[in-house]
């Protein structure tokens, strides 16, 4: 499988931009923008996710090749196929990401990206170690089934991930109006990382914010409302293993304790769901504290 | 990313960035501006929490709150921010010789100095009431 991975080439730029953001935060006295242990956790999780990705790459590639091989459709390596593939991959990413917040099985993998109460460029690198375990790659299999080359899909996915790095910052307010209308931006993504009731489960986009507008999950950033970042029940730990696996262990504990009729629901229902209604989902929080319910 | 060399370089960069964060002073403990901030944070607990008694710890780095039904919540620093936890009856609460109280839950711990001591908050009556709530 031909596959160009741009991620290693982007890492030096990531480092330079993090240094620049730290200096900006220091100079503007935003001393809550970074915290040393939180940064260590984010970067450690990022490093671990690279290792996890390397371990899983062969299997994922083989599965994509297998699906592509049985498909009668072939799009090929035309220039326009790259454009179409990037857009289609971004749509697949939207649904993967939405499932990552609305289905606890996928949330168990994705939650560590949200477990920081800080929002800075290092948070962007706080990536999952368990994406392969969660089978997140299945969201991209339809792309190879409709004829896109597996290598093209993986390259586009990597560029999508790289795009999302720069939007994890408070250093940029808003971009020009036309850009905010089409692309995911720091403003849109701050909303996504917020725990404020009105912002829960909003703005799942990767590169193009139009998907959220199309599927009813868009919420603009409101001026004058301070954003609280993180997760509804904050992690409260600087233990990297706990950050990587805490939701998996909690979910499996819930499955073990649940009545037989409810066990599977703890895997596929939304985070916060409980068979006895003793917990709160994001919809319940929004109802209690105000805000629109997810359509 | 092939081979161990790029990974070693990335590891070195991670260590350098952590060091830079320390040099630039990103190690500060957060401080609550007042009881109102603690009460606002407590409202984010599942089901909500309306405090009827709020006590900031001596250096404003946390708070203890009680609602009308006797539930106790703690606001504790984590990084440059705070987390909120509801007392579930299973916390270990001990008082150190220097007067500080150490609170250790299943997934967090904190160390506070209260002006009026911890006894008013975590006596056996409170514990049973909170556990029942």
pLDDT tens sequence across A9-32: 999 999 999 999 999 999 999 999
More confident residue, B10 or A168: A168
Rg (CA), chain B: 19
Which residue in chain A is spatially nearest to B17 when comparing CA positions?
A19
The confidence score (pLDDT) of residue B133 equals 36
Q: What is the largest CA-CA distance in chain B?
A: 61
Q: How far apart are alpha carbons A34 and A169 in whole angstroms?
A: 11
Phi, psi of B101 (to 5 degrees): -105, 140
The confidence score (pLDDT) of residue B119 equals 60
Q: Which of B125, B123, B32 is nearest to B80 (CA)?
A: B32
Quick count: other Cβ atoms within 10 Å of Cβ B26?
Answer: 26
Give the pLDDT band (50/70/90) at residue B125: very low
pTM of the model: 0.92
**What is the rounded average pLDDT of the residues A75-100?**
98
In chain A, residues 198-257 whose CB comes closer than 8 Å to chain B: 228-230, 232-238, 242, 246
Residue to test with chain A: of B8, B22, B26, most A Cβ within 10 A: B26
More confident residue, B110 or B18: B18
Secondary structure (3-state) at A48: helix
The residues with which B76 forms a beta bridge, in sequence order, are B83
ipTM of this model? 0.90
- How many angstroms separate the first and last alpha carbons of chain A? 40
B21/A51 CB distance under 8 A: no
**What is the rounded average pLDDT of the residues A65-94?**
97
Chain A residues lying within 8 Å of B13, measured CB to CB: 11, 15
Q: Which helix (H) or strand (E) holds A246?
A: helix A240-257
pLDDT of B109 > 60? The answer is yes
Q: How far apart are alpha carbons A139 and A142 in whole angstroms?
A: 7
More confident residue, A156 or B89: A156
The dihedral built from the CA positions of residue A228, A231, A233 and A239, taken in this order, carries a sign that is: negative
pLDDT tens sequence across B43-56: 888 888 999 999 99
Q: Which helix (H) or strand (E) holds B51?
A: strand B51-56
Strands across the sheet containing B92-95: B92-95, B101-104, B109-112
Q: How far apart are alpha carbons B118 and B64 in whole angstroms?
A: 10
Give the pLDDT band (50/70/90) at residue A59: very high
């Amino acid at each position: 499988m031909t596959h160009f991975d741009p991620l290693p080439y982007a890492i030096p730029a990531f480092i330079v931009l993090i240094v620049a953001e730290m200096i900006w935060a220091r100079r503007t006295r935003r001393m809550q923008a970074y915290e040393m242990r939180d940064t260590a956790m984010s970067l450690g999780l990022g490093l671990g996710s690279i290792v996890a990705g390397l371990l899983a790459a062969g299997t994922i590639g083989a599965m994509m090749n297998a699906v592509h091989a049985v498909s009668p459709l072939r799009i090929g390596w035309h220039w326009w196929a790259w454009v179409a593939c990037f857009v289609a991959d971004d749509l697949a990413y939207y649904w993967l990401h939405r499932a990552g917040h609305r289905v606890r099985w996928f949330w168990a993998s994705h939650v560590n990206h949200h477990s920081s109460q800080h929002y800075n460029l290092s948070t962007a690198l706080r990536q999952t170690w368990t994406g392969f375990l969660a089978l997140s790659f299945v969201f991209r299999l339809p792309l190879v089934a409709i004829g896109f080359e597996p290598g093209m899909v993986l390259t586009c996915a990597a560029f999508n991930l790289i795009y999302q790095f720069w939007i994890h910052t408070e250093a940029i307010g808003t971009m020009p109006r036309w850009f905010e209308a089409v692309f995911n931006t720091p403003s849109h993504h701050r909303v996504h990382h917020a725990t404020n009731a009105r912002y829960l489960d909003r703005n799942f986009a990767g590169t193009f914010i139009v998907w959220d507008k199309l599927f009813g999950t868009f919420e603009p950033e409101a001026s004058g409302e301070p954003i609280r970042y993180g997760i509804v029940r904050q992690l409260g730990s600087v233990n990297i293993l706990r950050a990587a696996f805490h939701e998996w262990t909690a979910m499996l504990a819930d499955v073990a304790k649940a009545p037989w009729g409810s066990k599977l629901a703890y895997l596929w229902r939304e985070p916060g769901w409980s068979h006895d209604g003793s917990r709160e989902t994001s919809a319940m929080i929004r109802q209690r504290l105000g805000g629109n319910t997810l359509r | 990313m092939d081979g161990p060399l790029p990974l070693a370089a990335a590891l070195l960069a991670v260590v350098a960035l952590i060091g830079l964060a320390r040099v630039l002073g990103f190690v500060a403990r957060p401080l609550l501006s007042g009881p109102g901030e603690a009460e606002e944070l407590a409202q984010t607990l599942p089901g909500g929490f309306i405090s009827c008694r709020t006590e900031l710890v001596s250096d404003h780095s946390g708070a203890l709150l009680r609602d009308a039904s006797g539930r106790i919540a703690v606001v504790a620093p984590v990084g440059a921010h705070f987390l909120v936890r509801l007392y579930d009856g299973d916390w270990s609460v001990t008082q150190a010789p220097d007067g500080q109280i150490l609170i250790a839950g299943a997934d967090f711990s904190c160390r506070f100095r209260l002006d009026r001591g911890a006894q008013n908050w975590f006596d056996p009556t409170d514990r049973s009431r909170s556990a029942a709530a």
